Amino acid sequence: MSYRTTKRPAKSERLREEPVAYHTNGNGRHGKPKFIDLFCGIGGFRFAFEKAGCECVFSSDWNKYAKITYEANFGEKPFGDIHSVAVANIPAHDILCAGFPCQPFSIAGVSKKLSLGKAHGFDDKEQGNLFFSLAEIIEFHQPAAFVLENVKNLKSHDQGRTFQIIRNTLTDALGYHLHTAVIDAQSVVPQHRERIFLVGFKERRAFEFPEFPAAGPKLESILETDVSDKYTLSNHLWKYLQDYAAKHRAAGNGFGFGLVTGKDTSRTLSARYYKDGSEILISQGPRKNPRRLTPRECARLMGYPKDFKIPVSDTQAYKQFGNSVVVPVVERVAKAVVSTLQHPVDYKPELALAANDKENKKTATRIAESVSYFKTKKRRKESA
């Protein structure tokens, strides 16, 4: 296996103490679980894991503008390039979170790189190997759990070979128990956005991905009412997009803009939305050109809190939201991971359910007995 390994220094050589094992032996809780927020962007993971009761002890992102937004919202500037931090200098943690860069694997990213004759996937020297940086951090720090997020295409990239390497590294090489699921955010926000989640536990645990509602909200729930005309498409751009769509329709493929109303669910917001906004255009009726979403609407579309601060230009904001995770999706995953860690390692939900059932039956019998006792007593009183 091509996986690089870093020798784990002896305990005495480490810079920080091991975190208190968080429920890994079922001996009760010692403080908040600590997590690290890698490739943190604007902090989608951080909102979710803080809401699940965890404490962030390290964050990293090399993008200057993402750091500005992160600092405005969390009061902390993330560390820069992940390659430039010594693994041992990353604080000890219980949960490692990372939405690692997806361009080397995403359909759009791969076709762009192919058209430019550039390498993609793990052959992309700069970005493709970031997964192995994650693997090194996991190997060194041995967190009780990790949560990784990426585009759905990660699974099929290079005919499944990329995913196979990732899976083998996390399981065979690092010894983690892996659970994966593709989750579509449209059940919690009005956006069709499928992402793969890889959740790993150091010890075998009964983990299940959370359930999501069958039907989600519609765009009207996130649209603003008073929107500046600067978001309306110019005649030139609107004509260009219509001509482009017509050309592709004639060629028999589906490239085109996504025109929607408040009653719809949008396509996936991409980091390229700032260019022409074509994937999500809001109809403004027959007499007006459609408009793009405002950055605030993008924040809502990604499930960010109402008071989320957007201290950067529209262009940067669109890039940041297009790259982000959907906060309420990660919130549910975070809650499931934290509650799994809170149970003893050998906890079996089905046994707990059975025990509850037994308990419920006992209670139901007790209630039935006392009801019948009072009924009999009442009948005796009436006939006396």
Ligand X SMILES: C[S@@+](CC[C@H](N)C(=O)[O-])C[C@H]1O[C@@H](n2cnc3c(N)ncnc32)[C@H](O)[C@@H]1O
Dihedral of CA atoms 354, 357, 362, 365 in degrees, nearest 10, equals -140
- Mask: binding to ligand X, 319-348, rule CB under 6 A, as x and -? ----xxx-----------------------
Rounded least distance, CB 245 to ligand X, Å: 28
Nearer to ligand X, 45 or 273 (CB): 45
Q: Where are the beta strands (DSSP E) in 71-202?
A: 95-98, 145-151, 177-184, 194-201
One of 19, 33, 44, 190 touching ligand X (CB under 6 A): 44
Q: Does 73 bind ligand X (CB under 6 A)?
A: no
Q: Does 191 bind ligand X (CB under 6 A)?
A: no
If you search the block for the tokens 């939305």, which residue do you land on? 273
Q: Does 42 bind ligand X (CB under 6 A)?
A: yes
Rounded least distance, CB 84 to ligand X, Å: 8
One of 63, 153, 186, 278 touching ligand X (CB under 6 A): 63
One of 4, 16, 30, 83 touching ligand X (CB under 6 A): 83
Nearer to ligand X, 100 or 201 (CB): 100
Q: Which two tokens stand for residue 218?
A: 């519609």
If you search the block for the tokens 């989608």, which residue do you land on? 44
One of 19, 33, 101, 190 touching ligand X (CB under 6 A): 101
Rounded least distance, CB 97 to ligand X, Å: 8
Which residues from 123-182 bind ligand X, rule CB under 6 A? Answer: 130
Dihedral of CA atoms 39, 42, 43, 44 in degrees, nearest 10, equals -100
Amino acid at 307: D
Using CA atoms, how far residue 31 sits from 20, 202, 210, 284, in Å, is: 8, 19, 24, 52
Name the residue whose CB lies closest to ligand X: 41
Instruction: Kindly state the number of chain residues that form the binding site for ligand X, as judged by CB under 6 A.
Output: 21
Q: Determine how β-strand 145-151 pairs with β-strand 95-98.
A: parallel
Instruction: Select from 104, 230, 228, 122 the least CA-distant residue to 169.
Output: 122
Nearer to ligand X, 95 or 241 (CB): 95
Task: Report the alpha-carbon distance of residue 114 to residue 101 in Å, rounded.
Answer: 17
Residues 6+ apart with CB under 8 A from 304: 44, 47, 321, 324, 327
Nearer to ligand X, 323 or 340 (CB): 323
Task: Report the alpha-carbon distance of residue 48 to residue 54 in Å, rounded.
Answer: 9
- Residue 187, Cβ neighbours under 10 Å: how many? 17
Q: Does 61 bind ligand X (CB under 6 A)?
A: yes
Nearer to ligand X, 105 or 176 (CB): 105
Catalytically annotated residue among 54, 56, 102, 298: 102
Q: What DSSP string runs through 3-65? A: ----PPPPGGG-SSPPPPP-STTSS---SPPEEEEET-TTTHHHHHHHHTT-EEEEEE---HH
One of 33, 99, 200, 322 touching ligand X (CB under 6 A): 99
- Mask: binding to ligand X, 285-324, rule CB under 6 A, as x and -? --------------------------------------xx
Q: What DSSP string runs through 182-244? A: EEEGGGTSSB--EEEEEEEESS-----PPP--SS---GGGT--SS--GGGBPPHHHHHHHHHH
8-state DSSP, 89? G
Could you confirm whether 102 is annotated as catalytic? yes
Task: Report the alpha-carbon distance of residue 174 to residue 139 in Å, rounded.
Answer: 6
One of 55, 81, 172, 369 touching ligand X (CB under 6 A): 81
Q: Does 122 bind ligand X (CB under 6 A)?
A: no
One of 22, 33, 36, 41 touching ligand X (CB under 6 A): 41
Nearer to ligand X, 77 or 83 (CB): 83
- Mask: binding to ligand X, 242-281, rule CB under 6 A, as x and -? ----------------------------------------
Nearer to ligand X, 41 or 290 (CB): 41
Per CB under 6 A, residues contacting ligand X are 39-42, 44-45, 60-63, 66, 81-83, 99, 101-102, 130, 323-325
Active site residues: 102
